[in-house]
Amino acid sequence: MLGESHDLFHEFPEYQNRIAELKAADSQFAQLYGEYHAVNDEVERIELQIETPSDFYTETLKKKRLHLKDEIYAILRTKARAEALV
């Protein structure tokens, strides 16, 4: 939605430190993070009407962004649970 921030630090404020740590230490996480932000940036350009692709393409991008966010959240939760057990 226009005007809403979908930056991961905004989406998951409770995981800000963990996101920063994983970006630096985990190449798989860093790749997902980069892909998420590339897709998110494209969606934002579309919402600001800087780019005007088809509605189908826009919805496909939004679904991809959601899927990536779900993957990232799963990693964050798994790492948090693993640390809680230590």
Model pTM score: 0.88
Q: What pLDDT shows up at residue 45?
A: 94
Domain boundaries in the chain? 8-85
Q: Report pLDDT for 3.
A: 62
From first to last of the 86 residues of the chain, give the pLDDT tens digit. 556 789 999 999 999 999 999 999 999 999 999 999 999 999 999 999 999 999 999 999 999 999 999 999 999 999 999 988 87
8 A C-beta contact, residue 68 and residue 39: yes
